């Protein structure tokens, strides 16, 4: 017997109305839940954007502070460099002055060399020796004449001896000539003593001038060293602060980076079509790039600060070495040379006050 087909269930209009109303309420509830989810998503997006902007603003402020500090210390280093250049120019000026001073000493040296050359000729000594030789011959002749008597051998009669020789001089001329030779010898000796005193004064004045110039240069080096040490200490303090700040920033940036990575990783779990490359996704990627860029900039600033600190250390060592050279020069001039010159006995001579304006002609023998 064939199976009878059952007719579909029948519903009353009231049941149909209730069923439609139930479907409507479920759809409305689903729509409300969807709207709440959209609103919550928008709130979360706004919160993330606000947090991201806040972190970026904080990083920007920190970077601005670092830039101001770097500009400040760059200006300080530029000023120190300008001061070092100025000190170098001053040292070059002193070098020129010393060279000119040495040039001005050539004339006294030339005069001294001329005096030595004249004294090597020994004109006064020659005249004295010649006069002494003549007097020795005359003394020998007069002594022979004094020893002659009537019984002496080799006595003889000579004609035409009672006469005045044409080249003979009077007693007064003879006395004047002998006295002139003595006075000339005394004058030459006094001039020599005066000249030696003048040379000693010039050498002493030269040593004093060089010592004063050396003291000025030493003072400049000491001041430069003090300024360099001050700049080095300031830079060292700044470097320590920078390192502390960078350490703090690295921790902060690491936290921000972790948050950004966590956000990116969490957003990969969005279902279906919701896994889209929206603005927030790109913003998070850009934030990570900015964070990495800021880390690199902070490391670059730290490297620059370390380079400047090393340069200041090298400048300090160079200044200390130069000061040591100057101290050795002072030791040679003041301790060795001046103490050695104290052993020179004092000399007698004329008043030296008239020699300040130059060397008199009669002082050149």
Angle of CA points 107, 109, 111, to nearest 5°: 70
Q: Which helix (H) or strand (E) is 261 found in, with range?
A: helix 171-267
pTM score, whole prediction: 0.31
Contact indicator for 117, 236 with CB cutoff of 8 Å = no
Q: Using one digit for the tens of pLDDT, what is the confidence trace for 167-210?
A: 566 667 666 766 776 776 677 667 667 766 776 787 778 778 76
Over the stretch 254-283, which tens digit does the pLDDT of each residue have?
A: 666 676 667 666 656 655 545 455 666 666
Range of the domain at 313: 55-101+207-346
Question: What are the Cα distances from residue 260, in Å, to 31, 257, 276, 281, 336?
Answer: 32, 5, 17, 10, 75
CA distance 318 to 207: 26
> Which position has the token pair 């966590």?
262
If one counts the domains in the chain, the total is 1
Highest mean pLDDT among 183-197, 227-241, 330-344: 183-197
Instruction: Examine residue 280 and state whether it is found in any structural domain, yes or no.
Output: yes
Tell me whether residue 239 is in a domain: yes
Question: Residue 213, CB half-sphere, CA atoms under 13 Å: how many?
Answer: 19
Q: In this prediction, what percent of the chain has a pLDDT beyond 90?
A: 0
305 occurs within a structural domain = yes
In a domain, 212, yes or no: yes
Give the CATH number of the domain where residue 318 resides: 1.10.287
Q: Which residues contact residue 94 at a Cβ distance below 8 angstroms, ignoring those fewer than 6 apart?
A: 213, 216, 217
What tens digit of pLDDT does each residue of 118-170 get? 554 455 666 667 677 777 777 776 666 666 666 666 666 555 544 555 556 66
pLDDT given at position 264:
60
| Residue 95 forms part of a structural domain | yes
303 inside domain: yes
The secondary structure of 305-354 as a DSSP string is HHHHHHHHHHHHHHHHHHHHHHHHHHIIIIIIIHHHHTTSPP---S-SGG
Structure tokens that stand for 59 in this block = 């990083």
Mean pLDDT score, 59-76 = 71
Residue 16 lies in a domain: no
Residue 67 counted as domain residue: yes
């Amino acid at each position: 017997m064939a199976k009878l087909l059952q007719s579909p269930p029948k519903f009353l209009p009231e049941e149909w109305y209730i069923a439609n109303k139930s479907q409507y309420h479920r759809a409305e509830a689903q729509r409300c839940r969807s709207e709440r989810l959209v609103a919550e998503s928008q709130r979360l997006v706004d919160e993330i954007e606000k947090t991201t902007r806040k972190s970026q603003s904080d990083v920007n402020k920190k970077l601005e502070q670092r830039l101001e500090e770097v500009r400040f210390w760059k200006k300080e280093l530029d000023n120190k460099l300008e001061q070092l250049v100025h000190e170098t120019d001053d040292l070059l000026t002193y070098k020129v002055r010393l060279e000119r001073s040495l040039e001005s000493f050539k004339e006294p040296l030339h005069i001294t060399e001329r005096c030595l050359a004249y004294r090597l000729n020994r004109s006064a000594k020659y005249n004295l020796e010649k006069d002494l030789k003549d007097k020795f011959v005359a003394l020998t002749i007069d002594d022979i004449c004094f020893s002659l008597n009537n019984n002496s051998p080799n006595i003889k009669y000579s004609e035409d001896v009672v006469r005045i020789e044409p080249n003979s001089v009077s007693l007064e001329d003879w006395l004047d000539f002998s006295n002139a030779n003595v006075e000339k010898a005394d004058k030459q000796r006094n001039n020599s003593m005066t000249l030696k005193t003048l040379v000693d004064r010039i050498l002493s004045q030269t040593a004093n001038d060089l010592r004063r110039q050396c003291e000025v240069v030493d003072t400049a080096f000491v001041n430069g060293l003090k300024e360099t040490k001050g700049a080095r200490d300031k830079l060292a303090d700044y470097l320590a602060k920078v390192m502390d700040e960078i350490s703090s920033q690295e921790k902060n940036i690491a936290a921000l980076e972790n948050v950004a990575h966590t956000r990116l990783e969490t957003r990969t779990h969005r279902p279906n079509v919701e896994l889209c490359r929206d603005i927030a996704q790109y913003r998070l990627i850009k934030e990570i790039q900015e964070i990495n860029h800021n880390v690199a900039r902070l490391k670059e600033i730290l490297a620059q600060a370390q380079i400047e600190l090393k340069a200041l250390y090298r400048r300090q060592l160079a200044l200390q070495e130069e000061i040591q050279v100057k101290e050795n020069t002072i030791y040679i001039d003041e301790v060795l040379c001046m103490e050695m010159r104290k052993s020179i006995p004092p000399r007698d001579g004329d008043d030296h006050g008239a020699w300040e304006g130059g060397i008199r002609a009669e002082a050149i023998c």
